[in-house]
Amino acid sequence: MDGRPVDPESAWSGYAGATRADPSPGAVKRPRSVVVRVIYNRRLRELRRDVMSAKPISLTRFLIQEQHAGHINADLRLLIEVVARACKTISTAVGKGALGGVLGDAGTGNVQGEAQKKLDVLSNEILLEANEWGGHLAGLASEEMEHAHPIPNAYPKGNYLLLFDPLDGSSNIDVNVAVGTIFSVLQCPDGVIEPTDEHFLQPGVAQVCAGYTIYGPSTLLVLTIGRGTHGFTLDREQGSFMLTRRDIRIPADTQEFAINMSNQRHWHAPMQRYVSDLLEGKQGVRGKDFNMRWVASMVADVHRILTRGGIFIYPADRKDLSKPGRLRLMYEANPMAFIVEQAGGAATTGRSRLMDVVPTGLHQRVPVFLGSRHEVETATRYHLEHDSLPA
Ligand code: F6P
């Protein structure tokens, strides 16, 4: 109360549904002090509601609410919290840059023969260390490790499998451009205590959770547990991820594409036709001008699409016929496909739904077409039309 005198008329007007002109004849007239208290409490409740709705909720609170609503169990909630905590540590290391002594090559190569950066190795260690002893996992698999890593017997075990690309966009680390962590969570098959590679080979539709963290001007976590896609911003002072975009939606149409054009000469015929139609702009069959953006960190390119729409393509090409695409199915394409579909977008291999691909290897590659639904459908149609032509 602010101590100001209360007009009895206006006090009456706030009383339990009665109106000034027409206090209901049967209503019991309460003492003025009671009426004032009713108004005071009601205003307090309104004020509290306004303050609460203006303040973003934390990831912890969001996950607890999802658990109370029966959408996730406590183990999955805690697993996501552990991954998020590890990502905060990676964010700090990335943010220190040269001051942390973490830039440059590690002098080693990963299982795919790619040179590892120091931050690749460090991020992998951070995620491994944080998740090993949490008690929610049966095993882990990473871009940086040839085989799956079962949880050591010294630690309690859980029922989930975690796959991750610890630091996506490695070529951008040393040039201070956004990089990120991508992760996917599967259920460990019943009765399996020590999961090996084969137990991770489940199609994308089996994912129970997927997410990525992007270490850019701000650090963001984008997450789906199969009930929409939600974005959280790291409050660096508080050390908490705060929900800043609930239920992200990707526009169905777009005029922006993301592709590494330097590979054009290696593309197959339907890709050549699709991109050349985009480039013809308003005068061509598509009847509109397209813009192009390419960060070369999948997390950043996908995040732009979640922000304003677009199509991201990394097709198969003729550069190296032993590689059916550039991106890895299990810890890059599948989690991104899950996130994009949950935001109303689409994700295909250029021919069929990405999350239906039945995996055959932990590090297998796959062509990726994802983003604004209508545009992904168009690009996919170009491929299917090409396939139906007589040989
Ligand atoms: O492996 C992943 C990645 O760094 C992606 O983040 C990115 O989209 C792609 O490779 C870029 O590869 P390139 O520079 O060879 O086109």
DSSP letter at 266 equals G
For residue 81 the two structure tokens come to: 């919290």
**Domain edge (last residue) among 54, 69, 89:** 54
The pairing of beta strand 256-258 with beta strand 346-348: unpaired
User: Is residue 251 situated within a structural domain?
Assistant: no
Q: How far is CA 298 from CA 26, 45, 52, 105, 233, in A?
A: 68, 45, 35, 20, 19
User: Is residue 1 situated within a structural domain?
Assistant: no
Residue 326 alpha carbon to ligand 1 centre in Å = 7
Q: State whether 31 and 116 are in the same domain.
A: no
User: Is residue 302 situated within a structural domain?
Assistant: yes
Q: State whether 76 and 34 are in the same domain.
A: no
Residues whose CB is less than 8 angstroms from the CB of residue 11 and which lie 6 or more positions away in sequence, other chains included: 32, 35, 36, 39
d(CA 108, CA 114): 8
151 near 138, Cβ under 8 Å?
yes
* Closest Cα to atom 3 of ligand 1: 169
Task: Determine the pLDDT at residue 44.
Answer: 86
Mutate to test the pocket of ligand 1, among 298, 302, 323, 336 (most ligand atoms within 8 A of CB): 298
Radius of gyration of the chain (CA): 26
Q: How far is CA 153 from CA 24, 139, 149, 216, in A?
A: 72, 11, 12, 37
Residue 324 alpha carbon to ligand 1 centre in Å = 14
* pLDDT tens by residue, 28-54: 677 888 888 888 888 888 887 776 666
**Domain edge (last residue) among 213, 245, 277:** 245
d(CA 177, CA 100): 17
Task: Return the closest-CA partner of residue 332 out of 116, 214, 150, 166.
Answer: 166
For residue 311 the two structure tokens come to: 């199509």
- For ligand 1, residues with CB inside 6 Å are 168-171, 260, 296-298, 326
* Total domains, the chain: 3
CATH number at residue 231: 3.30.540.10
Task: Determine the pLDDT at residue 27.
Answer: 60
pLDDT band at 181 (very low <50, low <70, confident <90, very high): very high
Q: Residue 168 CB: number of other CB atoms within 10 A?
A: 29
pLDDT at 26 over 60: no
Domain that holds residue 146: 59-245
* Closest Cα to atom 16 of ligand 1: 260
Q: What is the mean pLDDT of residues 298-302?
A: 98
d(CA 156, CA 80): 17
Percent of the chain at pLDDT exceeding 70:
92
Torsion angles phi and psi, residue 347, rounded to 5: -145, 120
Q: State whether 223 and 160 are in the same domain.
A: yes
Percent of the chain at pLDDT exceeding 90:
79
121 near 114, Cβ under 8 Å?
no
**Domain edge (last residue) among 54, 77, 92:** 54
User: Is residue 3 situated within a structural domain?
Assistant: no
* Residue 100, SS3 per DSSP: helix
Q: State whether 186 and 322 are in the same domain.
A: no
Q: State whether 225 and 309 are in the same domain.
A: no
User: Is residue 306 situated within a structural domain?
Assistant: yes
d(CA 247, CA 244): 10
* Residue 271, SS3 per DSSP: helix
For residue 135 the two structure tokens come to: 């008690």
* Closest Cα to atom 8 of ligand 1: 298
Q: State whether 25 and 110 are in the same domain.
A: no
Q: Residue 159 CB: number of other CB atoms within 10 A?
A: 17
Strands (E) in the chain, as ranges, are 105-109, 115-117, 137-142, 149-150, 160-168, 179-187, 209-215, 219-224, 229-235, 240-245, 256-258, 291-292, 311-314, 327-328, 346-348, 365-366, 368-371
**For residue 49, how many C-alpha atoms fall within 13 Å in the half-sphere facing its CB?**
6
Torsion angles phi and psi, residue 157, rounded to 5: -115, 155
Q: State whether 196 and 92 are in the same domain.
A: yes
Q: Residue 76 CB: number of other CB atoms within 10 A?
A: 22
Give pTM, 2 decimals: 0.87
Atom from ligand 1 closest to the CA of residue 169 = 4
pLDDT band at 368 (very low <50, low <70, confident <90, very high): very high
Mutate to test the pocket of ligand 1, among 142, 262, 327 (most ligand atoms within 8 A of CB): 327
* pLDDT tens by residue, 260-288: 999 999 999 999 999 999 999 999 999 99
Element housing 34 (H / E): helix 32-54
User: Is residue 66 situated within a structural domain?
Assistant: yes
Task: Return the closest-CA partner of residue 160 out of 219, 75, 275.
Answer: 75
User: Is residue 342 situated within a structural domain?
Assistant: yes
Q: What is the mean pLDDT of residues 311-325?
A: 95
Residue 276 alpha carbon to ligand 1 centre in Å = 22
Q: State whether 115 and 25 are in the same domain.
A: no
Q: State whether 35 and 87 are in the same domain.
A: no
d(CA 310, CA 258): 7
Residue 376 alpha carbon to ligand 1 centre in Å = 19
d(CA 309, CA 371): 7
Q: State whether 84 and 206 are in the same domain.
A: yes
Q: Of 43-52, 128-137, 220-229, 276-285, which gets the smallest average pLDDT?
A: 43-52
Atom from ligand 1 closest to the CA of residue 143 = 1
Q: State whether 281 and 179 are in the same domain.
A: no
* Closest Cα to atom 12 of ligand 1: 296
User: Is residue 189 situated within a structural domain?
Assistant: yes
Q: State whether 105 and 212 are in the same domain.
A: yes
